[in-house]
Structure 1
């Protein structure tokens, strides 16, 4: 029995489900929350791989997908399409201990590519990324593909992969591409450099910041790359290195276990990952670290929780029309949307989603596939979790399943290089599992801006103050001004205390969450509150509690990854008098009804200088007292305040 694409009747106007996607009937006994089983994962993998057929070049060495090319050029984009889909094919081959059709297809392309149709590996070239995928894929499908190649064909592949040896990579997660590439060479008896492997693994030790978190290279680079790169590749390396990895395996396992204690809170109850950071077109690749926890026996989650989380993520994207009507993964999130991508991404880039299918390496009899799904923390209670290592405060609400990431630490800025370039996916005060930032130069959502003759200010390098309990605080510089924000979580409400200290004569503008849809959200303003509501009742509200003069709603068109029509509520302080000014607001993103007037009446705020006392009806019995730093925290190393 087959089930039509889940949620097909709920797809937004103008969206069509992938024509060839046929899924097994949902198993509500085994998977009461998602209905998905191992058979569902296999069906989606098969559909993704089958849909690529028309896009292979005659030799099979490249997958030339339609769409905007990357900065690396067409030949590298074609290699990317092959390599990233080969990783999925390798997991699929291993899942059923062989698949002659896939083995033949990818073997033919492997030999032709290595013989000269692929660009050779040169220092810091994009080819290194794709070569790592090929190396991992060859290892995981070794018994059915590599071991069946004859000597001359194996040598062609070795010669191509040998471009890793002694070469240079970018000093971030790319160091791990060289590690797995050369470890594969070592595993097949080819020349390699143990020095390259050891130095790459040693280098990531410099980026370990504690609590299971790495930064991706120097600086405050925290996003999904920590899961789908910094934890994934060391885990894959241990599978390739065997007993030689035993000492590091213990360390990597302990770190992954601790990371997953935090990371489980980065996914909404509907399976949607928090929409923050770069390379979001990789989508369900965000499931990779949870599967790796099972593979390494290094997870705080039960097998049933792991499948509930990962299957929830896959179902979220399938329910939202991914893959598209052609069966392809497009550059975007729920739909093709180029502004959410980076210039390094080409049409084959989204196939890093293959990492999210890592669980297919777990055999059918593994408890992750046979145990009943179990509830995640957000399924049972509201969640507030402080993550000091990345500077995040996570706020999750059980009734609507929304996760909000309050960002007081990730700016994707290298240390000691002044203010970082503007980046929508790192410079906001908050992100969520149901919303994306407005991708316009005039930042408004989840941002405090100074608006004057020179335009709208940006949030630069994030200087941390504290992340603890239900609070987080940070500050940044805007010319001669200092902007400090403290977040306090009270149920579904975030109270934001904003201290602006600097020259007067500018307008202070503070936005809430931008919501987007196929239809224009409703917008309502009155006095010092503003509200936007989507057709499914997703609601964004800002309420001025102290210091603001008026409110408004900014409408957008084709500026948001979640839909063509977007709306952002915001607050305004018309004339900054100069010196320190403390403003207080309530910010809400909810799937339930919000009553702005009642919210304003329910929160009592007392402001005295840099001190703010907050009392909320129905909240904690004791008042929340926030004392703004006001410049008392020493600047980070190499910075001045």
Structure 2
């Protein structure tokens, strides 16, 4: 992909300006055009991985998600091509929108694109095409959605149909029903779970916030914008900390192949004025993510986004991932709706949180602890509250980072017996430099885990309950990647191989861990001392003494002196 020369005056950290975003959008749109059918209603991209929806639905997905990119780019030439495809699609090419079917997802992208570009696309269509298109979209108003972020797709379609005066009562009902539905999943502090349970991931940003805030903004509904915009603003205070100094988003959750769609809520906050971030910080984080992926093989030799993270990577895919799925990355170009003279484009880049300071940040809603270090720009996420309905390495490991990926050999796990699973996670709290949870492992044993973090160092303590005496226990740490060093040292209950056995009653296992890109860090054993017993006492070499106590109800953590700034 050919991009303009770096501008290190306006963007000293990424070199990336609005011109780079425009060039990237143009290149992606040009690359997909050869894969359109003759009538332009479907886009069939090459690839071995087929989604569960079938080739016709995959072709619609290719149309809808790249249309969204053309809409954000406001490319009138491209939009003319998509207008031709729309006319053909609603004349009988596209599959109908049915209950829990993939076309419902794509209808939302199409409706949003039509709403954003109404003078450029919709208003120029023939009346017959508009009638057929409205009727095709209208099925989304009553189609049953999967009970998760899908509930917002009828909201998005309803917003457009209400605006053009089509089935306004049904549209209003779909909007109200969808917005009411997501209230069940709003936790607090700007965080939603993606449906029932505790599924916390990027769907917060590229779905749960994006659609309600955009709907409120486009509708000019100040009441809704105050509600959803206020949640977005609070969310972004945590969200900004999920990006590493190299631009990488946190490698956690599902649908990671959407890549720089992670930037959508950053732009949305700037667009609506609902953000705690400065314009320069917003652009730095967004441009950092874009260049991170473009520099690491996200686009292949044909200019197509691949199914993966950097390059192709089946490990990050789901059953619904098809050849066009990566083009939800189009959402990352939302910022192009902002005019060229908006401060988010004209302000000088400012460092993101991972570049400004060493920080250990409690995120209460998902029960996460975020640990970042300025020297290497690494961000680590200690997960003590998020899990999928099944065991999923991208949800249920103890920790994730911006520089590592979940390993097949079960990194960041407590393995009781020969069972590495971690299910029924029960959050036990998060506070100043610590986080705790309890989960089921090893055929019914319960593991109570506490992590204390300072700088790049972690103290990981696990109490195993309910396992027969003599049950093997193994503790694993980070899976190191290129340029990063992973360390794990036994402290209590573990031998040099980080293995031990349970005794009678509760059994405590403690280790020190560190993930760092510093070339010569202080020896891990010199950073902290730990005394294990009925009370776990942790003495940081440059900070306070912290005491941890366990009981049947959970964990209590207290510092013996006020925490000093670190």
Q: Which residue of 2 aligns with 1:35?
A: 15
CA distance in 1, matches of 2:480, 2:456: 16
- Distance (Å, rounded) in 2 between the aligned partners of 1:287 and 1:220: 23
Q: 1:482 to 1:86 in 2, by over 3 A?
A: same
User: How far does residue 70 in structure 1 lie from its aligned partner after superposition?
Assistant: 0.3
Match of 2:51 in 1: 70
Which residue number in structure 2 is paired with residue 473 of structure 1? 436
**2:511 aligns to what SS in structure 1?**
strand
How large is the Cα RMSD of the aligned pairs?
Answer: 1.4
Separation in structure 1 between the aligned mates of residue 200 and residue 527 of structure 2, nearest angstrom: 35
Residue 255 of structure 2: aligned partner: 279
Which residue in the other structure is 2:559 paired with? Answer: none
Gaps of 5+ in 1: 1-20, 94-98, 414-420, 517-533, 552-570, 634-641
Q: How many residues align?
A: 550
Gaps of 5+ in 2: 556-566
Distance 1:632 1:486 in 2: 10
Query: For residue 605 of structure 1, what is the aligned residue in structure 2?
Result: 530
Show the counterpart of 2:549. 627
Secondary structure, counterpart of 1:272 in structure 2: coil
CA distance in 2, matches of 1:590, 1:333: 22
Q: Is the CA contact (8 Å cut-off) linking 2:428 and 2:554 kept in structure 1?
A: no
User: Is 1:426–2:395 an aligned residue pair?
Assistant: yes
Q: Which residue of 1 aligns with 2:234?
A: 258
Report the counterpart of residue 4 of structure 1 in structure 2. none
1:280-305 per-residue CA deviation (whole Å, 9 max, x = no partner) reads 00000000111000111100001111
Matched, 1:208 2:134: no
CA change 1:604–1:236 in 2 (3 A) is: same
Task: Return the alpha-carbon distance in structure 2 between the equivalents of residues 303 and 218 of structure 1.
Answer: 35
SS of equivalent to 2:410: coil
Alignment partners' CA distance in 2, 1:197 and 1:370: 36
| Partner deviation per Cα, 1:495-550 (whole Å, 9 max, x = no partner) | 1011112212322111111134xxxxxxxxxxxxxxxxx4x3x1111111222112
Give distance in 2, aligned partners of 1:465 and 1:393: 12
Match of 2:489 among 509, 526, 543: 543
CA displacement at 1:65 relative to structure 2: 0.7
How far the C-alpha of 1:370 sits from its partner, in A, is: 0.7
C-alpha distance after superposition, 1:142-192 (max 9, x if no partner): 111111111011111111101112232112111110001011111111114
Deviations 1:92-151 (A, max 9, x none): 11xxxxx34202211111111111111010111110000000000111111111111110
- 2:499 counterpart of 1:572: yes
Task: Assess, with a 3 A threshold, how the Cα gap between structure 1 residues 40 and 49 changes in structure 2: closer, same or farther.
Answer: same
CA distance 1:344–1:577, shift in 2 (3 Å): same
Per the alignment, residue 563 of structure 2 pairs with: none
Q: Distance in 2 between matches of 1:365 and 1:227?
A: 25
Instruction: Write the deviation string for residues 6-31 of structure 1: whole angstroms up to 9, x where unpaired.
Output: xxxxxxxxxxxxxxx11111111111
Alignment partner, residue 58 of structure 1: 38
The alignment status of 1:23 with 2:3, answered yes or no, reads yes
| TM-score calculated relative to the size of structure 1 | 0.84
Q: How far 1:594 moved relative to its partner?
A: 5.6
Instruction: Tell me, in whole angstroms, the C-alpha distance in 1 between the residues paired with 2:142 and 2:353.
Output: 46
Distance in structure 2 (CA, Å) of the matches to 1:314 and 1:198 = 35
Question: Paired residue for 2:130?
Answer: 154
SS in 2 for 1:274: coil
Paired residue secondary structure (1:158): helix
Partner of 2:215: 237
SS in structure 2 opposite 1:29? coil
**Contact 1:444–1:510 (CA<8 Å) still a contact in 2?**
no
Picking from 402, 411, 419, the partner of 1:456 is 419
1:601 Cα deviation after fit: 4.3
For 2:424, what is the secondary structure of its paired residue? coil
Q: Is contact 2:29–2:70 with CA below 8 Å preserved after alignment?
A: yes
Contact 2:300 2:311 in 1 (8 A): yes
Matches within 5 A, 1:132-147: 132-147=108-123
- Tell me, in whole angstroms, the C-alpha distance in 2 between the residues paired with 1:543 and 1:484: 19
The answer on 1:447 being equivalent to 2:413 is yes
Question: Where does 1:396-415 land on structure 2 (aligned, <5 Å)?
Answer: 396-413=372-389
Aligned twin of 2:448: 484
